[in-house]
């Protein structure tokens, strides 16, 4: 037995040494191996993220159970059970594709349409288009609320993050939707009292508490919503949209200033100019700065 153990140990040692020699001779293979492992781990992690909150998560747990059961049946020589489980595993891939076709399609759509790839390659068009769509949705909701004289306060975050304000509300992390925004502000519902904050193209939270501006900053006839809208616009670069419950008029607070009785087309222009156009200009400035930085670096290199 000791001789067999020695032979096996020497075999493994020689095998490991041969791999080490191979990697020393061809270091590129070690790099590709590491890259291969990193990609596989990353894809596995993303796959788990996609399926975690869906029906497919139950399937993943079922597959894990089948793999363990098949291994156990093989180890204890339970031939009939092992044959059945192995057959199920063989046909499992086809069954997964048939049963979970909608989930697979949605995952592939998310993979192809995600904004992360656009940001990575510097393609901000998708983000700009999404922001414009969100602005139109917000405007639709605002004037629907104005028609019904339903009081509302919507804050659109820009460059300065307002996480402390978001933390005071009820987390939502949902897509911007006119129907959802209207429903949030329905009187006598749990979320109607407070502000909705839109951050990173998402409804981040509802029922948020905002800092109030002092009485000297606003007219006496304006209420708490207007004071809160001005307050948040003074403490950050966010834009606040206020719908008056008494008059049904729409106002916009920006940089500590209140623009009262705003028409629908004017509200669209204000939001697009201050959010979308600003982002586009910043993106252009960054692109223009890159060649300048490279030129300066080259000058220093020459010296």
Q: How far apart are CA 196 and CA 271, in angstroms?
A: 16
Query: C-alpha 19: how far from its chain's center?
Result: 42
259: pLDDT strictly greater than 90: yes
pLDDT at 196: 97
Alpha helices in the chain (DSSP H): 2-25, 27-52, 56-75, 79-99, 101-113, 115-120, 125-147, 163-166, 178-184, 224-235, 264-271, 277-302
Closest by CA position to 170, among listed 141, 194, 152: 194
Mean pLDDT computed over 21-25:
59
| Backbone Cα Rg of the chain | 29
pLDDT at 89: 78
Given a contact cutoff of 8 angstroms between Cβ atoms, the answer to whether 235 and 215 are in contact is no
Q: pLDDT tens, 56-107? A: 667 777 778 888 888 898 888 888 888 888 888 777 767 777 766 666 665 6
18: pLDDT strictly greater than 70: no
Q: In this structure, what token pair is assigned to residue 203?
A: 């409804």
pLDDT band at 245 (very low <50, low <70, confident <90, very high): very high
Helix axes 56-75, 27-52, angle to 10 degrees: 120
pLDDT at 206: 96
Q: pLDDT tens, 109-147? A: 555 544 444 444 444 557 788 889 999 999 999 999 999
Q: In this structure, what token pair is assigned to residue 77?
A: 């020589």
Mean pLDDT computed over 256-284:
84
Backbone phi, psi, residue 250, to 5°: -105, 135
Q: pLDDT tens, 190-224? A: 898 899 999 989 999 999 999 888 766 566 677 88
Query: C-alpha 127: how far from its chain's center?
Result: 12
Q: In this structure, what token pair is assigned to residue 257?
A: 């200033």
Closest by CA position to 138, among listed 193, 175, 187: 175
Please tell me the least confidently modeled range out of 8-12, 59-63, 99-103, 277-281.
8-12
All structural domains of the chain: 2-110 (no CATH), 125-281 (3.40.1700.10)
Backbone phi, psi, residue 152, to 5°: -155, 155
Given a contact cutoff of 8 angstroms between Cβ atoms, the answer to whether 160 and 178 are in contact is no
Q: In this structure, what token pair is assigned to residue 296?
A: 């300066």
Model pTM?
Answer: 0.57
pLDDT at 294: 58
24: pLDDT strictly greater than 50: yes
Q: How far apart are CA 207 and CA 198, in angstroms?
A: 12
Q: How far apart are CA 80 and CA 98, in angstroms?
A: 27
């Amino acid at each position: 037995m000791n001789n067999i153990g020695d032979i096996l140990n020497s075999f493994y040692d020689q095998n490991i040494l041969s791999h080490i020699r191979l990697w020393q001779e061809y270091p590129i293979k070690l790099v590709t191996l590491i890259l291969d492992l990193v990609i596989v781990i990353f894809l596995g992690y993303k796959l788990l993220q996609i399926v975690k909150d869906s029906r497919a998560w139950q399937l993943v747990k079922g597959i894990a159970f089948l793999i363990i059961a098949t291994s156990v049946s093989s180890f204890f020589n339970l031939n009939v059970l092992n044959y059945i489980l192995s057959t199920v595993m063989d046909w499992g891939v086809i069954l997964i594709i048939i049963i979970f076709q909608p989930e697979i399609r949605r995952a592939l759509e998310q993979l192809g349409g995600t904004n992360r790839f656009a940001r990575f390659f510097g393609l901000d068009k998708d983000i700009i288009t999404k922001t414009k769509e969100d602005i139109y949705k917000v405007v639709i909701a605002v004037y629907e609320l104005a028609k019904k004289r339903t009081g509302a306060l919507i804050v659109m975050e820009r460059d300065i993050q307002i996480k402390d304000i978001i933390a005071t509300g009820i987390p939502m992390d949902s897509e911007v939707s006119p129907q959802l925004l209207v429903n949030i502000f329905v009187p006598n519902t749990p979320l109607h009292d407070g502000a909705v904050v839109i951050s990173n193209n998402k409804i981040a939270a509802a029922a948020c508490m905002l800092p109030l501006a002092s009485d000297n900053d606003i007219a006496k006839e304006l209420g708490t919503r207007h004071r809160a809208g001005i307050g948040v616009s003074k403490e950050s670069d966010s834009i606040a949209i206020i719908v008056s419950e008494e008059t049904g008029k729409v106002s916009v607070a920006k940089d500590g200033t209140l623009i009262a009785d705003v028409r629908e087309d004017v509200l669209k222009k204000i939001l697009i100019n201050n959010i979308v156009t600003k982002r586009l200009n910043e993106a252009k400035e960054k692109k223009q700065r890159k060649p300048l930085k490279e030129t300066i670096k080259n000058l220093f290199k020459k010296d």
